[in-house]
Structures are given as C-alpha cells and as structure tokens.
Amino acid sequence: MNRDDEILIALGRMEGQLLQLQKLSEEIHKLSERVRKLEILHGWLKGAWTIVAFAWAYLCRQTLKLTNIF
C-alpha cells in the first residue's frame, strides 16, 4: 500500500467517526427535547395534584361544617 492509499483510508475513517458524532449529536438533541417536554408535563401534573388536594381539603372542611363536628 502506498502513502496515498493510507491517507485515503485515514480520511475514510475520520469521515466515519464524524458521521457517528453527528448521529450522537442528533440523539442528544432529541433527548434534550424529550426531557424538556417531560419537565413541562411534570409541572402540570404537580399543579393538578395541588388543585386536587385543595379541593379535597375544601370538601372535607365543608362536610365537617355540615355535620357540626367542629
């Protein structure tokens, strides 16, 4: 194998590694988007559970008032 062939083989390897890095970069970007969406959903769920808890407490309080326990 001559020097030109070795250079071409090395360039081919580098190109392959660059393509792998590009694919990994795309996967990281997709993962970042998924994490962002999950964090938004998590915030909404926390808010919804807070509303449910306050509604439950309000209903329990109203029930206690109606039964004249307190």
Give 36-53 pLDDT, tens digit per residue: 999 999 999 999 999 999
Confidence check: pLDDT of 70 > 60? no
Give me the chain's average pLDDT, please.
Answer: 92
Contacts of residue 64, Cβ cutoff 8 Å, sequence gap at least 6: 70
Confidence check: pLDDT of 1 > 80? no
Vertex 43: Cα angle to 41 and 48 (nearest 5): 95
Model pLDDT for residues 7-22, shown as the tens digit of each residue: 889 999 999 999 999 9
Q: How confident is the model at residue 65 (pLDDT cuts 50, 70, 90)?
A: confident
Indicate the pTM of the whole model.
0.59
